[in-house]
Structure 1
Amino acid sequence: MAHRYWCGECGHRTPWLGAADAERRHLAHYAARHPGTAPGGHVQTRRTLGGCACLGLTVLLLLLLAVAAARLR
């Protein structure tokens, strides 16, 4: 899963990262931009496609390409 933290004080948000990296960047933002303020805001999460999903899409595209090439002959 990927996580993105939104700052509760301004519009800053972290990029989609792993949980630990996103939290680390969120805390670094608060330390640099809002010193003395407790970190706030909210967290978004999303599922990421695994390697199998990408492989499946690649195979599907190759099959469609083969069918299209066969029809052109």
Structure 2
Amino acid sequence: MAYRYWCGECSFKTSWGTESQGQKEHLEHYTVHHTGLVPGGQVETNRKDPDGGGSCLAFIALAVLLVFLAASCHH
């Protein structure tokens, strides 16, 4: 899952990344641009594959291929 943090004071939003990367970027933004304020805003989550690699689909395709090859070797 990927995360993106939105600033509660302006229109800044972090890039998509891990939760800890987003928190770090968000805190750095507040430190530079909103000194003295407690970081606020919202967190957006992306449940899709953040890399767009489709790793689950590739794994399923490989498993089906292996089953097909194993079945064809028995005859």
Cα deviation, 1:7-61, whole Å, max 9, x if unaligned, reads: 00000000111000010000000000000000000000011325123x37x99xx
- Unaligned runs of 5+ residues in structure 1 are 60-73
Cα separation, 2, equivalents of 1:11 and 1:18: 20
Alignment: residue pair count:
57
2: distance between equivalents of 1:10 and 1:27?
A: 14
Write the letter of the residue equivalent to 2:55. Answer: G
Instruction: Report the AA paired with residue 27 of structure 1.
Output: L
The answer for unaligned runs of 5 or more in structure 2 is 63-75
CA RMSD of superposed structures (Å)? 1.9
Percentage of identical aligned residues? 44
The runs of at least 4 aligned residues of structure 1 exceeding 6 Å deviation read none
User: Comparing both structures, which one devotes a greater share of its residues to helix?
Assistant: 1
Q: What TM-score, normalized by structure 2, do the two folds share?
A: 0.68
